[in-house]
Structure 1
Amino acid sequence: MIRADAAGVGKLGDRVVNRLGFGSMRLTPRADTSVAIKVVRAAVELGVDHIDTAAFYVSPGGVLDVGEGAPRYATELIREALHPYPRELVLATKVGPWAETADDLRAHVHENLRRLGVERLDLVNLRLTRRGGSLAERFRVLADLRAEGLIRDLGLSNATLDQVDEASAIAPVVCVQNSYAVDLRRDDDLVPALAARGIAFVPFFAIAGPRREDGASDDHDEAVRRIARTHGVTPHQIRLAWTLHQGPNVLAVPGTGDPRHLRENIAAGAVRLTADELAAL
């Protein structure tokens, strides 16, 4: 069985993690939460030590089959699956959307603390609703919470390099989470620029690409299909492998609620693409 360490390791701040992590966004749409819990546990059993989540990953319409019809949050499912957490596990969460005031941001942080069942969050990414513009006021709120000991590390999501530099003048930025894939390439220049600053790049939608929240499809470029046949893997695995090949500071967090897809995603970390294959892609 291929494990997450097949992709090698990278750094989130001063913590070393396997470059193949797990994203929790696709846990909540599944009505049977027992399967979601099994997937999270299986990810950790396969060596995943970096899990991405968010305060706003919640069941559609706020309702799942959980007795009284209360909404289920990905953070709650992670807690149910893994608490007390393995010492080496890094839990990264996101706050920001729909937070219009400093008090809203603080409330999102405290909500994450409560739902995850921890006294300090490993990593909090400020999710920006648009690329560009000043983020200083909002990032200072998180920096203050970090100074209070409620957050270990800070990052950004959906950010430009200018925004990274603005935030870094306030507090250290350990990672940037942006949408990025073989057919979603607006951040080609950002990845090496972050590497030069010692900042990890954590792409989301590496498999879904331009389909984003709609998820992966079977509509792949012929080069992706051809290279997948050569390696005896799926096109989705080639898309993920391509992402990992973009730099040693790239940490992938593919999300799934399916046990088979979880194993395939982790196995993609063992795929080694040639220079010619990378050029074709």
Structure 2
Amino acid sequence: MGYAALWTPDDLPLQGLGLMRFADEGWGDPDRDPTVLVRTAVEAGVSLLDTAEMYGNEELVGRAIAAHRDHVTLCSKFGVYWGPSGRHDDWSVRADPDTLRSAIEGNLRRLNVETIDLYYLHHRSEETPIEETVTAMADLLRSGKIRAIGLSNVTIDDIRRAHAVHPIQAVQEQWSLSQRDVEPMMPALAELGITLVAHSPLGHGALVGSSRSPLTETLREVAAKYGVTPSQTALAWVHLRGRRSGQPVVPLPGTARVTHLLANVAAAQLDIADRRVPWSGGV
């Protein structure tokens, strides 16, 4: 099977939906029912849905997307595994070809699909050269088990080495007003034609919680001026910076609530400019 990009810069997905917090207890709640959330996302034009082996919810995602499979770009990840302690910081990376081949079978079985549209290496490995991992991922693509290859939590050097083995569709990294470490990577992504999927555009909630930092205070003031929420203002910043960067960017806010999903969709259309927030400028 040959390689065909999932999208081009001219038909870039407007926004994705991160499903890390997608949980089974929402059934029957109109704001948190998994099938209602997916249906609402698709109807609103948000069809790029993102999960991972590590999240432990692929079976739930599979059930929720079943009625919409032909209208969903399904993304999942492999390579990060929890340790026995259960602590949040107890995890390791396994990116060798044998682990990959075992992982994809589990992904497909749990999601109840024949193909995953965009399959990511979830985190760079210190043990397995990325060329070995991507060569094995390309084998999955040729066999029809995935449609495109993505990388997450990697370096510029990783990206160039991986792309030399096989074209990379997307790199997923955090990008928000409070976390801008990805910006030095963006010229290389633009050069190689790789989309940045910008996860955690609300800074893992740090931009919209109870913090009273100068940045969050400014967000509140700007949001009030335009009659929107601080969350929408922070997400609008990622959309606008992406459009002005010359780099394909798909923001990936995560939520398990329909009300938050609809607010995020509305944020993609906001036209906000305020000199106190760095809306433009080089990246």
Fold agreement, TM-score > 0.5: yes
Q: Match of 2:273, as an amino acid?
A: T
Structure 2 equivalent of residue 236 of structure 1: 231
Shift >6 Å, 4+ stretches: 130-133
Q: Percent identity?
A: 33
CA distance in 1, matches of 2:17, 2:64: 14
1:117 to 112, 120, 126: 112
Paired amino acid for 1:238: T
Q: Which residue does 2:90 correspond to in 1? A: none
What is the CA–CA distance in structure 2 between the aligned matches of 1:113 and 1:132, rounded to whole Å?
26
1:145: Cα distance to partner? 1.2
The 2-side partners of 1:166 and 1:90 are apart by 26
Distance in structure 1 (CA, Å) of the matches to 2:127 and 2:270: 35
Distance 1:195 1:272, change over 3 A: farther
- Counterpart check, 1:264 vs 2:256: no
Note if contact 2:130-2:162 (Cα within 8 Å) is conserved in structure 1: yes
Q: Does 1:36 align with 2:24?
A: no
Change (3 A) 1:133 1:272: farther
| Alpha-carbon contact 1:123-1:151 (below 8 Å) kept | yes
2:80 equivalent to 1:97: yes
SS of residue paired to 1:149? coil
Residue in 2 that maps onto 1:57: 55
What residue number does 2:253 align with? 254
The letter of the residue matching 1:47 is G
CA-CA distance at 1:163 after TM superposition: 0.9
Q: CA deviation at 1:268?
A: 0.8
Aligned with 2:118: secondary structure?
A: strand
Deviation at 1:190, TM superposition (A): 1.7
Q: Is the 8 A contact 1:12 1:175 kept in 2?
A: no
- Partners of 1:247 and 1:157 in 2: how far apart? 18
The alpha-carbon deviation at position 233 of structure 1 amounts to 0.8
Q: Which position in structure 2 is the counterpart of 1:197?
A: 192
Segments of 5+ residues of structure 1 without an aligned counterpart are: 1-10, 59-72
Measured after TM superposition, the shift of residue 94 of structure 1 is: 0.9
Q: Distance in 2 between matches of 1:113 and 1:45?
A: 25
Query: In the alignment, is the contact (CA less than 8 A) between 2:96 and 2:128 conserved in 1?
Result: no
Change (3 A) 1:258 1:210: closer
Deviation at 1:78, TM superposition (A): 2.4
Cα offset, 1:79, TM superposition:
2.1
The alpha-carbon deviation at position 13 of structure 1 amounts to 4.2
Rounded Cα–Cα distance in structure 2 between residues aligned with 1:241 and 1:192:
21
Q: After TM superposition, list the pairs within 5 Å mapping 1:67-82 onto structure 2.
A: 73=57, 75-82=58-65
Q: Which amino acid aligns with 1:261?
A: H
The SS at the match of 2:170 is: strand
Equivalence for 1:178: 173
Q: CA deviation at 1:85?
A: 3.0
1:261–1:132 distance in 2 versus 1, CA, 3 Å: farther
Contact (CA 8 Å) 2:51, 2:75: kept in 1 or not?
Answer: yes
